[in-house]
Structure formats: structure tokens, C-alpha cells
Amino acid sequence: MFKMSREELHRFFMLPPNEQIHADDLVRVLRVMQRAFRNPEEFLQFSYRMFLPKTRDGFIWLMSTIYGQRLDDGSVLQYITSLDITDEREEQEKQAAVFAHTNALLERILDTTQTALFWKDKERRFQGANKAFLDYYDFPSEQVILGKTDEEMGWHAKEEPFKSDEWRVLHNGESTYRVRGKCMSHGEMRDIVASKRPLIENGEIVGLVGSFEDVTDEIRHQEQMEKLNEQLRQALEKAESANQAKTVFLSNVSHDMRTPLNGILGITELALQTDDIEKIRGYLQKIMTAGSLLKDLINDTLELSRIGNGKKQLDYEVVEASSMLERLITSIRPAAEQRGVNFHVDLPFAELGFVRIDRLKLSKVLLNLLSNAVKFTPKGGDVWLLGEVLSCDEHEAVCRFTVRDNGVGISKEFLPRMFTPFEQENALSVQGTQGTGLGLSIARELLMILGGTIAVESEKGKGTTFTVEVRFERAKRNDGQKAAVPPICLDRRQILVCEDNELNREIVTTLLEMNNLQVIQAENGEQGVQRFIESPEYSIEAILMDIRMPVMDGLTAAAKIRQLARRDAARVPIIALSANAFQEDVEASRRVGMNAHLTKPIEPDLLINCLQSQIGMYEAQRKGE
């Protein structure tokens, strides 16, 4: 075929590919060879032009097939057979010339239409296209595409659907209409729909003719509408779900508030109808229990509401790891002792030194878990609070807290619902264990804010284990720690109480006087400011300030006192005593210069402890002047 000896042919085949293969076919042949090397067992067939070695002037057309196998050493053995198709190609080119001449008039007609048109031979190779087609791809002439397939042009990300579409046209004689696919145009993958029909000569299919339209804007608009409709549907579902959840939530709150309230009113009615002092004492104790439950429900509902509204923020402080839960342990021990439950603590965190945490939130989480453990563990049972350092480096530590009891346990059926608000297992509703049903929900939500996790294991009749994991930032020293103020004696200290509600004013005054404090009363903020102005300097050692009052509210009154031109006005402790319990209320109190914010109903111990702390610091400041 090459008219040369075996040795001459061997030397020719050792030449670089660009000296063997026609430049127009070189890239395509190299791609086929690369593909054949990667997949040697794949049967490939391709045509190309090869130079005549002796003359270097002309070339011959070859139809080659290649297949092979990968050997054990990783090399590839290839078998290539080639057929001289030069005469066939020359005949094709002659026919193409005749076809081109005949086509000239048709091309002029096609170029006047705005629809992109093209035609291919039976091998799916482009034979021509109109001006609209070339303009769409920004081709200077149809020479860019002649003799090439879609795959060789590389403008489809995938061969389908157009390869199958054209196979049906060329082999089955079918016509296709608006087949949707994607095509690269001007550096962007666009959406098109193509329609194709077979080209028939002498009753035989010799190729196809096709057209396409760009529907990118139409499809994007449709997709945008579908996306907007989906967003609207999800928003409606979310709104409906939120409304339903709100209705259920309010229904549960209403029901759970009415229960203790009904008890308070009913028992009060019974107390009013008897003169038996012992019965009255019993009734008062029950009123206290029901009132405490109502207060807990209100507090827990507000807590859950604050978390749900995203108003719960982290309030970090630097504490010594070994003592960060001392207050929590101190508050749980009396409850455990009262119920006859053994309370065990093992928190080996001394190695951590100081850590930066939101101690209050972590304590609330563990308090909820420990309170439940103590409540649902029978007399003589055990409750454990255990700690473990899972990992630690100089920057942070991951700690695990385990709250375990050998109490009544939780049923498998209730476990999936135990973190749902207001859910309480009926079997646990035994005397002395009534709760709000919100504690575990709050614990889980607080842990989400802290970036921690919670898991539970329980077996009915054998006990429950909660596992909490939290990440702490380590601190090299106890930055931000306030110096402890020793307890002081409150006897004969003078307190200004600003409260518009007569009953509340009487309760606060009585509590203070029972602790040997002297009280100056004011019925609104304006009166409170005046009482302070009229008092000798440093004679009033603390102010309890209601927020919502007529004439002048507590925030305005506190701000005016801070602005007075007397030495004690800037430092006298002002403590908000209000039913406003949200975080923004606390921050509003701080902004006007108040030192603390206590919420109603009044907790006597908390009020006295706050007064001792604030007056103690106030006294220390005066001594340091």
C-alpha cells in the first residue's frame, strides 16, 4: 500500500506523529490513540490522511481499526489494521463538489432565515449549516464544522440526547421534534430544542437535516417561576405549621396555667370558709405548691419563647473548671436529701484550670436533668453527676457530663417525644413529681446555643442516663473574675422601694422589715426620685425600682437619679424589681444604670442575697474613695 520495504516503513512509523499524519487530522487521531491506550479492549474505527513517505507531497486516506489488550507489566499491546480508502474519499469529494454546486442556491435561501439550520451525512458529520447556525456559535464559516460530529466539536456536555435522537432519524427514518438538550455557545451552556428529519436519496437515507431554537431564557423563566412557586408553597406550609404550632403551644400553656390557677382559687375558697388554723396552714401550703408550679410554667414558657425568637445570646465568663458547677450542686443537694435520694458527684476538671463558658446556660441544662433525676428516683435510690474530659489542648477542651439515675426510667414509646414541649409521660405523673413539661425542651435548645449535644438512654424500671457534651475555650488565667465580696449585715439598712401596686409594695416592705431593714416607700418613679433627693447623702443604701409605673416609669426614674449632682447618686445600688422578664428588659435596665434585674414574683432569698451583694460592693467602693 505504501510502496516501500518493511525497513523503510518501520523507519517512517518511528517519525513524530506530525510528520506522518495530515495536520487537519492530527489532533483527532491523537485523541483516538489516547482513548485506545486508556481502554485498550475497546474497538475503535477512524479515518484520516497519512503522508506518502517517499514523496512528502501527497497523502492517502486510511480507514483504521484499533483494538488491544493491557499486559501484566502495564504496557499495552495494540493491533491496528488499515484500509486504503483514497479512491472512495476522492469520489466522495467529487460528489461533494457537485453537491456544493447544487447547494449554492439553496444556501442563499437558507441564509435568509433566522432559524438555525444544519445538515449531516449518515455518519452524523456536518455537511453544512446556514448563517443563523454559524452566528449562534460565532463561527466565521461552515469550514469549522464540516466533516465533524457533535462529539468532535465538543459543544455538548453529554452525548445524549442528540446522539440517540440522530440514530433514530438515520436508522429508523423517524422525525424528531423539539428534543431538549444543552449546548455550549459563546462560553455559556445554553438550553436548546432540536428537530430533525431524514435526508433521502433514491429511497435511501443518506443523512439528516435539522433545526434548533435557543430556549434558555424561556426555560430559566419557567424554572424561576417554579422556584418561586416552590418557595411560596414552602412559606405557606411553614406559616401553616407555625400557626398550628402556635395554636397547640398556646392551648398547652392555657391548659397548664389554668390547672394550678384553678387549684389556687379553689383552695383559697376553702380556706376562707374555715377557721381551723391547721386546715388553713395546709391550704396555704397547697397554694404555695400550685403557685410555684405556675411560676415555673411562666418562667419556662418565657425561656422557650426567648430561645425560639433568637433572643438568647451567650454570656461568657471565665471560671475555674473545678468549681464551675458548685452553685448547681449546692442547689440540688437539699432536694435530694429531702426525697431521701443519694446524690453522687465526680467532676475531675481540675486539670483544665480556667475555662471561658456561659456557666448559667450550662447550669440550667444540668439543673433540668438533675431535677428530673431526683424527682423520679425513689427513696434510697441514687443520682450521679459525672464529668469526663474527652479531649484537651492549650486552646479548648471537650467535656462530657453524665446525669444517671436508677429511678423509674422512661418507656421506649415516650423516648422520641421527650424533648417536645409540654410532653410528659403519664406513668411519671406521680405525686410530688408534677412539672411544666418544658424542662427537657429548654435543655436541648440551650445546648444548641452552646454548640453542645445531648443523648439519652433509658429502661423502664431501671433508670435513665443523659449524656451531654460541650466544648469549652480554655483561659490561661481567670480574666474577668470579680473579687468576692464577703456577706454583710443588713440590719437597719435603709431601702427605697418604688412600687405602684399596693399589694406588691406591702409584700416587699414586709419581706424587708422581716430582715430588719428600714423601708422608704414611693408610689411611682417621680415620687422615688423626690424621696432620694430629700434623703441625706449615703442614707439610702439601695433602691428597689419597679419598671412599669404611672407618672414616671422606673427606667426614667433610675436615669434621673444617676444624673443628680450628689456623690451617692452615681453609685447607689438600683435594683429593678419587675414582671418584665425578657433579656431586652434586663439590658434596658442596665443601659440606664441599674445594677441588677430581679423578676416577679419575688423570691425572698434571691432578693436578700442580691441586696447583700450590691450593698457590700457599694460599701467597699465608699471605703476605697
**So what's the pLDDT on residue 437?**
58
Lowest mean pLDDT among 186-195, 391-400, 541-550, 592-601: 186-195
Q: Which CATH topology does 317-475 take?
A: Heat Shock Protein 90 (3.30.565)
CA nearest to 595, candidates 623, 561, 624: 561
For residue 569, pLDDT over 90 is answered with yes
CA distances from 258 to 101, 250, 269, 293, 455 (A): 97, 12, 16, 11, 33
pTM for the whole structure: 0.47
Query: For residues 592 and 562, is the Cβ–Cβ distance under 8 A?
Result: yes
- Comparing 607 with 601, which gets the higher pLDDT? 607
How confident is the prediction for the chain on average, in pLDDT?
Answer: 83
Confidence of residue 451 (pLDDT cuts 50, 70, 90): confident
CATH second-level architecture of 96-214?
2-Layer Sandwich (3.30)
What is the rounded average pLDDT of the residues 532-549? 94
**So what's the pLDDT on residue 560?**
95
Q: How many CB atoms lie within 10 A of CB 202?
A: 5
Confidence of residue 556 (pLDDT cuts 50, 70, 90): very high
> Coil, strand or helix: which one is 194?
strand
Residue in this structure with the C-alpha cell 431586652, named with its chain if needed: 584
Confidence of residue 370 (pLDDT cuts 50, 70, 90): confident
**So what's the pLDDT on residue 308?**
58
* Equal fold, 6-84 vs 494-624: no
Q: Tens digits of per-residue pLDDT, 294-352?
A: 666 566 666 566 665 555 566 778 888 888 888 778 778 888 888 899 999 999 888 88
**So what's the pLDDT on residue 427?**
39
Q: Tens digits of per-residue pLDDT, 196-246?
A: 999 888 888 999 988 888 888 888 888 888 888 888 888 888 777 666 656
Q: Tens digits of per-residue pLDDT, 40-61?
A: 999 999 999 988 866 556 888 9
What is the rounded CA–CA span in Å between residue 134 and residue 142? 7
**So what's the pLDDT on residue 615?**
93
Confidence of residue 161 (pLDDT cuts 50, 70, 90): confident
What is the rounded average pLDDT of the residues 58-67? 90
**So what's the pLDDT on residue 110?**
66
Q: How far apart are the first and last CA of the chain?
A: 114
**So what's the pLDDT on residue 299?**
64
CATH second-level architecture of 494-624?
3-Layer(aba) Sandwich (3.40)
Tell me what percent of the residues of the chain surpass a pLDDT of 90. 32
Kindly state the cell numbers that stand for 324.
464551675
Cα atoms in the Cβ-side hemisphere of radius 13 Å centred on 200: 11
Q: Which CATH topology does 220-308 take?
A: Helix Hairpins (1.10.287)
Residue 608 CA, chain-centre distance (Å), reads 43
Lowest mean pLDDT among 154-163, 326-335, 471-480: 471-480
Q: Where are the domains of the chain?
A: 6-84, 96-214, 220-308, 317-475, 494-624
**So what's the pLDDT on residue 549?**
92
**φ, ψ at 186 (rounded to 5°):** 55, 40
**So what's the pLDDT on residue 106?**
66
What is the rounded CA–CA span in Å between residue 274 and residue 122? 109
Q: Please give the class, per CATH, of domain 6-84.
A: alpha beta
Cα atoms in the Cβ-side hemisphere of radius 13 Å centred on 263: 17
